[in-house]
Structure 1
Amino acid sequence: MFFVLVAVLALAGVIAHMAPASGQSDGEAAPVFGIKIPPGYRDWKLISVAHEAGDFNDLRAVLGNDVAIKAYRDGTLPFPDGAIIARLAWRYVPSEENNKVFGRPQSFVAGPPTNVQFMVKDSSKYAATGGWGFAQFNDGKPVDEVVLNTCFACHEPVKARDFVFTRYAP
Structure 2
Amino acid sequence: MKQIQVLGAMVAIATTLASATLLMAADNGYDSTQIFGGKLPDGYRDWKLISVAHEEGKLNDIRAILGNDIAVKAYREGKLPLPDGAIIARLAWAYGPSDVNNKAFGRTQSFVPGAPTNVQFMVKNSRAYASTGGWGFVQFENGKPDHIDVQACFACHTPVKDRDYVFTHYSP
How far apart in 2 are the matches of 1:160 and 1:80? 15
Alignment match, 1:61: 64
Q: Please identify runs of 4+ aligned residues in structure 1 that moved more than 3 A.
A: none
* Cα offset, 1:98, TM superposition: 0.3
Q: 1:35 aligns to what?
A: 35
Query: Which ranges in structure 1 are unaligned for 5 or more consecutive residues?
Result: 1-28
1:165 matched to 2:159? no
Q: Is the partner of 1:160 in helix, strand or coil?
A: helix
Q: CA RMSD in A?
A: 1.3
Deviation by residue 1:33-65 (Cα, 9 ceiling, x = unmatched): 331221100000000001111101100000000
- Take 1:124 and 1:149, find their aligned partners in 2: how far apart are those partners? 17
TM superposition shift of 1:134: 0.3
> In structure 2, which of residues 91, 95, 105 is the aligned counterpart of residue 92 of structure 1?
95
Find 2:54's aligned residue among 51, 54, 65: 51
Name the CA distance, whole Å, in 2 between partners of 1:140 and 1:125.
Answer: 24
Structure 2: which 5+ runs fail to align? 1-22, 24-29
Alignment-mate amino acid for residue 167 of structure 1: H
Pairs aligned (count): 140
TM score, norm. by length of structure 1: 0.79
Higher relative contact order (CA 8 A, sep 6+): 1
- Structure with greater helix share of residues: 2
Larger-Rg structure: 2
- Separation in structure 1 between the aligned mates of residue 100 and residue 93 of structure 2, nearest angstrom: 19
Provide the TM-score with structure 2 as the length reference: 0.78
- Deviation digits for residues 43-90 of structure 1, max 9, x if unmatched? 000000011111011000000000000000111111100000000000
Percent identical: 68
C-alpha separation in 2, matches of 1:71 and 1:142: 27
The residue number in structure 2 matching 1:117 is 120
Question: CA separation in 2, counterparts of 1:38 and 1:139?
Answer: 14
